[in-house]
A = this chain, B = another copy of it.
């Protein structure tokens, strides 16, 4: 019905084109791959035939012959987290122009799904795989790389140097968040995040603790509110637990391990009639788009998402070069201050204000 081409029952091949144009198979191939070698008349006749028949190159045959594929894949941890879609954008930008198309696969936090995707991609002989793994230490990763598929870890790193990776310095991110809160006069802060098995959660906390110690503050005044996952719902729950702490020792600020948690916390605080940052100042992490767009714009530790993706793509291309040394690229995060810490009536309004006399200096 929508068929504009003469139906052969199958899609037309170079052979069909050759027959229709009255030339040989090799000529058609030349028109496709080395147009300059073909006389203008012949070429246009061939091109005409291709258009008439609705010829489309068969990538499988091409790849089988050439041994190289024109696709790159990014196996992402969670397609519904804006952070990862921004990373994907960055990859796409780098792949564009190289006549390579990017396929996104969503493992959705499932190791099984990740493995299934990786298996399919290996069978496809994709040119390279970018991966934000469910578990950076998983043996599956070794398996894939062991087969010689160019592989780059994105937003994760492993201790060994057998892989290229791009990541962001999470410990520094934790420091930045805490330094900012200390600067704003907060002397009791909660770190909200979990589970601890996530490297990010651990590293950000480590940075936070280091900065806290550097500021000469009591370790016990940096509370940890653990969560089961980095989701909005968990953030809300943490807000309730925070509210349950006696006012005398309740943190005046919260540093959340990511923006989803921060948004949940924000919602709970505002929904229960308290104010941000008046009652609780909030710092998030990732600086996803919705952070700036929240009802109280969120202060957040920004990661260079697009650049992360772009660099990962470059690394994966470099992997194909003969004697390639794996590189671990680490980016620096940056604090973006917004109303959730700097808004009206910011700074701790009650509680044991240890005196603004200390000033914004640190350690």
User: Which residues in A have some Cβ–Cβ distance to B below 8 Å?
Assistant: 1-5, 10-11, 54, 56-64, 67, 69-71, 73, 79-80, 82, 85-86, 88-89, 92, 96, 101-106, 108, 113, 116-117, 120, 122-125, 142, 145-148, 162, 232, 263-264, 266-267, 270-271, 289-290, 293-297, 339
Given contacts A3-B148, A10-B67, contact A104 B79 (CB under 8 A): yes
Q: Is the beta-carbon distance between A120 and B232 smaller than 8 angstroms? A: no
B contact residues around A80 at 8 Å (CB): 82, 85-86, 89, 289
Q: How far is the CA of A263 from the CA of B297 in the complex (A)?
A: 12
B contact residues around A54 at 8 Å (CB): 146-147
Q: Is the beta-carbon distance between A263 and B146 smaller than 8 angstroms? A: no
Q: How far is the CA of A271 from the CA of B292 in the complex (A)?
A: 12
Q: Is the beta-carbon distance between A123 and B56 smaller than 8 angstroms? A: yes
How many whole Å from A11's CB to the nearest CB in chain B? 7
Q: Which residue of B lies closest to A66 (CB)?
A: B60
Q: Is the beta-carbon distance between A102 and B105 smaller than 8 angstroms? A: yes
- Add 10 more A-B contacts to A59-B124, A60-B64, A232-B290 (CB < 8 A): A2-B146, A56-B122, A58-B123, A59-B125, A64-B64, A73-B103, A80-B86, A89-B106, A102-B106, A271-B339
Most buried by B among A2, A57, A70, A73: A2
